[in-house]
């Protein structure tokens, strides 16, 4: 990969695979434009020969073997209740996130787009009826050329719906360390914030929530007004998602790490993106750990380590 094409930490940009789904309407064929983060895409292939799964939901077209890994293929048009034209030659976008590999059948994979998170707005709409969707399936919206609109799909909600991914804060016999103070959590998903909030509260911490990096910076200022010079002692850790509208986690980190009031506060990224490159970018952004959603035992362990590491620094100051 050419270094000029690599997204640098703090640029607040993301790259999306632009793919299309066609829908039959009363006025003809409508082509919807959708996107998925390139960091979650392994490859794009022609639809292979699939083995059907008896009893599976109708939007699972089947499974196939990809170099020794069994991949389920989810038909996105069926999952979104879209009535597609007949005879479409499907392409399969092979993704990896939450430490799982899943194929998504689409009608066309068009191009890669580089988009600034500032240009992505949270989904605030809903629709109903055949061939429609609701906002729980869309994480963001951005305008394209010719006044077209690209919708960023929430792939995690699909695997949660299928039961492939059921995050829990339970740890079995592992003892959860207890701390005093406050945790700031950033995530555009209310469901994800609820899970992380429950985990932080199990560690004894009060929780302040933000839905994106812009709101996160505002919350930091609010907390500084409350704690003043004791901000480092009272705000024990920041838990941040990476993919968020307006300002992503990496750009949020690059901003607050430049501020002497906040830069020493422990930061842990908690993201569905499970590629090695994002792990590297997280460390470059100043994170104490980069976690893939959501392994409870690993989460509690790494957060505790980050807090203890900062406590040792405070003792030696």
Average pLDDT over residues 82-89: 92
What is the chain's mean pLDDT, rounded? 88
In the block, residue with structure tokens 């979104």: 80
Cis peptide leading into residue 294 (ω within 30°): yes
DSSP letters for 96-115: EETTEEEEEEESEEEEEEEE
Q: Which of 47-61, 129-143, 158-172, 288-302 has the lowest mean pLDDT?
A: 129-143
> Residue 132: helix, strand or coil by DSSP?
coil
Q: pTM of the full predicted structure?
A: 0.83
181-232: pLDDT as tens digits: 999 999 988 888 999 999 999 999 999 999 999 999 999 999 999 999 999 9
- Candidate from 95-104, 168-177, 223-232, 253-262 with smallest mean pLDDT: 168-177
- Number of Cβ within 10 Å of residue 147's Cβ equals 6
What domains sit in the chain, N to C, each tagged with a CATH number?
Answer: 3-162 (2.40.50.180), 182-316 (3.40.50.2300)
Q: What is the pLDDT of residues 55-72, one digit of tens each?
A: 888 999 999 999 999 999
Kindly state the average pLDDT of the residues 276-305.
Answer: 91
Element (H or E) spanning 70, and its range?
A: strand 69-75
Provide the token pair at 113: 């787009």
Average pLDDT over residues 232-242: 97
Quote the CA–CA distance of 276 and 282 in Å, as a whole number: 10
pLDDT band at 159 (very low <50, low <70, confident <90, very high): confident
């Amino acid at each position: 990969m050419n270094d000029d094409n690599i997204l640098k930490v703090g640029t607040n940009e993301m790259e999306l695979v632009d793919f299309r789904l066609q829908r039959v309407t009363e006025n003809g064929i409508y082509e919807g434009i959708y996107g998925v983060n390139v960091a979650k895409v392994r490859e794009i292939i022609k639809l292979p020969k699939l083995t059907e799964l008896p009893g599976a939901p109708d939007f699972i077209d089947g499974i196939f073997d990809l170099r020794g890994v069994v991949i389920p293929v989810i038909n996105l048009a069926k999952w979104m209740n879209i009535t597609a034209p007949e005879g479409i030659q499907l392409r399969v976008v092979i993704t990896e996130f939450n430490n799982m590999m899943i194929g998504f059948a689409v009608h066309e994979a068009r191009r890669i787009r580089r988009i600034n998170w500032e240009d992505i707005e949270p989904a605030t709409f809903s629709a109903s009826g055949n061939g429609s969707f609701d906002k729980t399936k869309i994480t963001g919206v951005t305008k394209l050329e010719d006044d077209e609109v690209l919708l960023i799909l929430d792939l995690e909600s699909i695997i949660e719906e299928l039961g492939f991914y059921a995050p829990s804060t339970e740890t079995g016999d592992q003892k959860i360390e207890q701390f005093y103070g406050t945790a700031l959590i950033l995530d555009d998903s209310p469901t994800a914030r609820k899970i992380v909030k429950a985990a932080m509260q199990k560690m004894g911490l009060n929780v302040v929530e933000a839905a994106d990096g812009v709101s996160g910076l505002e919350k930091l200022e609010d907390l500084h007004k409350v704690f003043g010079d004791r901000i480092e002692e009272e705000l024990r850790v920041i838990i941040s998602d990476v993919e968020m509208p307006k300002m992503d986690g990496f750009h949020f980190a690059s901003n607050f790490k430049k501020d002497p009031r906040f830069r020493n506060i422990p930061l842990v990224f908690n993201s569905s993106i499970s590629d090695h490159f994002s792990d590297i970018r997280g460390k470059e952004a100043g994170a104490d750990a980069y976690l893939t959603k959501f392994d409870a035992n690993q989460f509690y362990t790494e957060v505790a380590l980050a807090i203890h590491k900062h406590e040792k620094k405070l003792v030696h100051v």
